[in-house]
Chain A
Amino acid sequence: MDILSGLAHGFHVATTPAALGMCVLGVVLGTIIGVLPGLGPSATIAMLLPLTFKLEPAGAMIMLAGIYYGAKYGGSTTSILLNVPGENSSVVTCIDGYQMARKGRAGPALGMAAIASFIAGTFGVVALMLVAPPLAKLSLAFSSPEYFALMVMGLAMVVLLAGDSLLKALLAMLVGLWISSIGTDLFTATTRFAFGQVELLGGIEFIIVAIGVFAVGEVLGNIEPEEPPAMVPVPKGLRNLLPTLEDFKRCRFAFLNGSVVGFLIGVLPGAGSTIASFISYGIEKAVSRHPEEFGKGAIEGVAAPEGSNNAETGGALVPLLTLGIPGSSTTAILLAALILWGFKPGPLFIQDQPALFWGLVASMYIGNVLLLILNLPLVAVFAQLVRVPSYVIYPLILGVSLVGVYSEGSSVFDLGLLALFGLLGYGMRKLDYPTAPLVLGLVLGAPMERALRQSLMMSQGSLSILLRPIPATLLVAAALLLAIPLIRRLNAVRVQVLDREQGENP
């Protein structure tokens, strides 16, 4: 079945009243879940699974998929307004989004997040439709050596997140790497840094550290001074609620960046949406004409990661629907749902179930449009949140953080960890350590170590396995990235010497 006829068939399936209803339900639910920190799409989909038995599979799949990509739209809301990541991959949006909100630009930040999500999300669906099977085959060429090199390049981006002090950024990154090593080692079943605590045997959940360091740390930092720094309220007028033409011009590359990077990383089963957001952010900063604005409220710093985590959903469906391989916990549940309904995702899935596949693809187009229509007016509503006085906002943030973390594992121990990381975040703020590198280290540490050890197991201990074309290229890119500060320093010295020479010989 060729693409156009497939798509036509798909729209036929997806535009029945029942299917449209499921789509609306899914995207609305997804947005709400995304806004609420802690409760994620994977938990929601798992909880709704029993209910979906009564429904028709195509409709149910459309709804569950709606929750999946809808959550990526909603995740940016609390990230921007409260510095609380609503969803794991929204943590990168906190960096610039929250700074924009503090400057009174919450409206444009939220609006741009929605628009970038729409553009990249739609790109992801188009790409899924056009290149799914051949890309799936290519993704199989990516194995542990390639993942290792990709993660090293991701870590090299710490250079771009460093701000003023590279040394402090590196230290923060090392702490992040250390935290990611806590738990039971996969290869030898030894426990590392569990300090005798049963609860640490499985490692520390990412969201606990992210919410602790970002949100709780921020609140602790702000309640300390006599006059807490007030958030500048969004000025009145529709113009101030949405991104300006200038903003759109600045984000031109970010849209492309987010879409392509997000989709490609989504296709790789071993890399997730958080990694995609970081890499997209890093690339955006690297090619920007004003990199010093990043971290202080650059709108591209919101558009790139937000777009990226939406395009990633389209990408993640590629290995799921063409090979039956889930790339993340959410796609794993979608796989379980498909199996429960009696479908068998694999290489023959698109062929055997054209109605389901194309119906899903068509519904994703519709869903992205619905989400844009849903989220843009909500910007006006959410932007008013910054007018709420700090004595309401800060307890709100703390409350939302506590509930969000507790809903993950129903564990009071987790709340203790949250407090601990909140103190860490507070300390880092006081001592002027950037927090993004810590999160970067935390996200990449464990997968990177695993990938290296798997690679060495595959090559029986020889590092030459990393000299295959893809890993070699990525490692060279990483080395170049790391060399940038060195080159800048050399350049600065060179300019100094030249100036002095000029001074001596006018």
Chain B
Amino acid sequence: MQAIRRILALALPALALLVPALSHAEWTPTRPVDIIVHTGPGGGNDILARAVVTMMAQEKLVPVRMQVLNKPGGGGAVAAAAVYERKDDPYTLGFITSVWLATALTAKESKVTIYDLKPIAQLLREPAVFAVPADSPFKTLKDFIEAAKAHPGKLKQSGGSITSRDNIIREQLQHATGAKWAYVSFPSGGDRLAALLGGHVDIMVIEPQEAGENVRAGKLRVLAQLSETRLPKWPDVPTLKEAGFDVTPTPQIRGVVAPPQMAPEVAAYWIGRFEKLTHTASWKKYLEENELEPAFVPGEAFLKSMKETSGELREQFQKAGVKVYR
């Protein structure tokens, strides 16, 4: 009798101690979650966010509704500020792209940058290829570079803004080979492709998925791909290194961030959910259809890789003559 009482006397407080420990370990959301994106509806980030929301629901990974909140403007600056404002809200996430890294460096007016937010995970990398019109005289990237060396400034590349990946790889290649060619900015991918197909520019960096159909129809030729290893859908296209150019393109990534004071167990929950997502069949199908590269990197490692990329970007921007403020 005494023994039982003693055991209970010890067991009950022990159990009582366990309860908070247990409830700490397993946080689950009970309210809808906002995913803040920096583009308007239909922009690249918006589409990815909506696809993720759908997949999370289909695979039953999250017990609550997730919704996309559009906060466009300033290349991610407005969205970053919106995520920051929610301090420790466990029901807010932000979807980022590499544009946020560029904005952090170049936009003097931003009061909040990506480094003020909590990194959750990197989800994927966007590959790209160099493409020329099918009737172009350049059969390999080397041909193009040689021609650019012979006639400096005459050849033209269409691309996005001066801080985009399209221009960075151009600066890197120009620096490595001594060639020089002009860069014409177009705000949308459609305009860039139209300029290339119409013969108004000579080359462009394009996402493989955008190029796919035009290659199949015989209108475009792909010269090289900007990735470490050959993409499965492009087995015959050399990578930059294989084509003879020792240049590592800065990765174009997409990832998830959270408000700066999000509790560690909540952040751990989200990291876990996104990791699970990347193992599902619907995610793999999405990546395959959109020709994206899986590249899951959680939490702190994600932050580290972003800082490295930022360092590279800073160098490249300064070389390209873009004013860097941070």
Interface readout for B50-68 with A: 1 if CB under 8 Å, 0 if not?
Answer: 1101100000000000000
Interchain nearest-CB distance for A295 vs B (Å)? 32
Whose C-beta in chain A lies nearest to the C-beta of B197? A140
Interface readout for B132-169 with A: 1 if CB under 8 Å, 0 if not?
Answer: 00000000000000000000011010001111000000
In the complex, besides A42-B40, A202-B73, A332-B42, 5 extra interface pairs with C-beta distance below 8 angstroms are A47-B41, A141-B198, A189-B163, A200-B74, A450-B187
Stretch at the interface among A104-112, A227-235, A321-329: A321-329
> In the complex the two chains form, is A201's CB within 8 Å of B74's CB?
yes
Whose C-beta in chain A lies nearest to the C-beta of B289? A342
Q: Chain B residues near A184: list those with CB within 8 A.
A: 74-75, 107, 161
Residue from A46, A49, A140, A340 within 8 A of B194 (CB atoms): A140
> In the complex the two chains form, is A191's CB within 8 Å of B42's CB?
no
Q: Chain A residues near B110: list those with CB within 8 A.
A: 198, 201
Q: Chain B residues near A144: list those with CB within 8 A.
A: 184, 195, 200
For residue B217, CB closer than 8 A to chain A, the reply is yes
Stretch at the interface among A1-9, A22-30, A248-256, A452-460: A452-460
Whose C-beta in chain B lies nearest to the C-beta of A453? B185
Per the bound structure, the CA–CA distance linking A364 and B69 in Å amounts to 32
Stretch at the interface among A55-63, A173-181, A346-354, A383-391: A346-354
Give the contacts of B94-114 with A (CB-CB under 8 A): 106-111
Q: What is the interface of chain A, defined by CB distance below 8 A to chain B?
A: 42-43, 45-47, 49-50, 53, 139-144, 184, 186-191, 194, 196-202, 269-270, 319, 323-327, 329-330, 332-333, 336, 339-340, 342, 344-349, 408-411, 450, 454, 457-458, 460
Interface readout for B184-215 with A: 1 if CB under 8 Å, 0 if not?
Answer: 11111011011101111100000001101110
Q: Chain A residues near B69: list those with CB within 8 A.
A: 410
Interface readout for B282-301 with A: 1 if CB under 8 Å, 0 if not?
Answer: 00000001100000000000
Q: How large is the interface on B (under 10, 10 to 19, 20 to 34, 35 or more residues)?
A: 35 or more
For residue B260, CB closer than 8 A to chain A, the reply is no
Interface readout for B30-48 with A: 1 if CB under 8 Å, 0 if not?
Answer: 0000000000111000110
Per the bound structure, the CA–CA distance linking A189 and B322 in Å amounts to 7
**A143-B323 contact, Cβ under 8 Å, with A49-B50, A198-B110, A333-B41:** no
Q: Chain B residues near A190: list those with CB within 8 A.
A: 323
Whose C-beta in chain A lies nearest to the C-beta of B201? A458
Q: Chain A residues near B210: list those with CB within 8 A.
A: 324
Give the contacts of B215-242 with A (CB-CB under 8 A): 216-217, 219
Q: Can you list 26 A-B contacts with CB-CB less than 8 angstroms, sorted by A residue number?
A: A42-B42, A43-B42, A46-B47, A47-B41, A140-B198, A143-B194, A187-B162, A189-B323, A197-B109, A198-B74, A198-B78, A199-B73, A199-B74, A201-B74, A201-B75, A270-B191, A323-B193, A325-B193, A326-B188, A329-B42, A336-B47, A339-B289, A348-B213, A408-B40, A409-B70, A411-B71
Per the bound structure, the CA–CA distance linking A136 and B72 in Å amounts to 31
Interchain nearest-CB distance for B242 vs A (Å)? 27
Per the bound structure, the CA–CA distance linking A340 and B288 in Å amounts to 11
Interchain nearest-CB distance for A283 vs B (Å)? 25
**A410-B198 contact, Cβ under 8 Å, with A191-B108, A202-B78, A325-B193:** no
Per the bound structure, the CA–CA distance linking A347 and B215 in Å amounts to 10
Q: Chain A residues near B107: list those with CB within 8 A.
A: 184, 191, 198, 201
Could you say which of B160, B195, B212 has the most chain A C-beta atoms within 10 Å of its C-beta? B195
Q: Chain B residues near A202: list those with CB within 8 A.
A: 72-75, 78
For residue B302, CB closer than 8 A to chain A, the reply is no
> In the complex the two chains form, is A46's CB within 8 Å of B73's CB?
no
Q: Chain A residues near B185: list those with CB within 8 A.
A: 186-187, 450, 454, 457
> In the complex the two chains form, is A324's CB within 8 Å of B214's CB?
yes
Interchain nearest-CB distance for A140 vs B (Å)? 4
Q: Chain A residues near B46: list those with CB within 8 A.
A: 46
For residue B129, CB closer than 8 A to chain A, the reply is no
Q: Chain B residues near A196: list those with CB within 8 A.
A: 109
> In the complex the two chains form, is B212's CB within 8 Å of A43's CB?
no
**A344-B213 contact, Cβ under 8 Å, with A42-B42, A201-B77, A323-B194:** yes
Interchain nearest-CB distance for A437 vs B (Å)? 25
> In the complex the two chains form, is B216's CB within 8 Å of A348's CB?
yes
Per the bound structure, the CA–CA distance linking A486 and B219 in Å amounts to 48
**A346-B216 contact, Cβ under 8 Å, with A323-B194, A326-B190, A409-B72:** yes
> In the complex the two chains form, is B78's CB within 8 Å of A332's CB?
no
Q: Chain B residues near A191: list those with CB within 8 A.
A: 107-109
Interchain nearest-CB distance for B274 vs A (Å)? 18
Whose C-beta in chain B lies nearest to the C-beta of A320? B190
Q: Chain B residues near A43: list those with CB within 8 A.
A: 40-42, 70
Give the contacts of B270-326 with A (CB-CB under 8 A): 289-290, 322-323
Interchain nearest-CB distance for B193 vs A (Å)? 6
> In the complex the two chains form, is A347's CB within 8 Å of B190's CB?
no
Per the bound structure, the CA–CA distance linking A140 and B322 in Å amounts to 31
For residue B268, CB closer than 8 A to chain A, the reply is no
Per the bound structure, the CA–CA distance linking A376 and B310 in Å amounts to 58
Per the bound structure, the CA–CA distance linking A432 and B6 in Å amounts to 93
Q: Chain B residues near A45: list those with CB within 8 A.
A: 41-42
For residue B183, CB closer than 8 A to chain A, the reply is yes
> In the complex the two chains form, is A198's CB within 8 Å of B161's CB?
no
For residue B243, CB closer than 8 A to chain A, the reply is no
Interchain nearest-CB distance for B187 vs A (Å)? 6
Q: Chain A residues near B40: list those with CB within 8 A.
A: 42-43, 329, 408-409
Of all A-B residue pairs in the complex, the 3 with the closest CB atoms, nearest first, are A346-B213, A201-B74, A46-B41
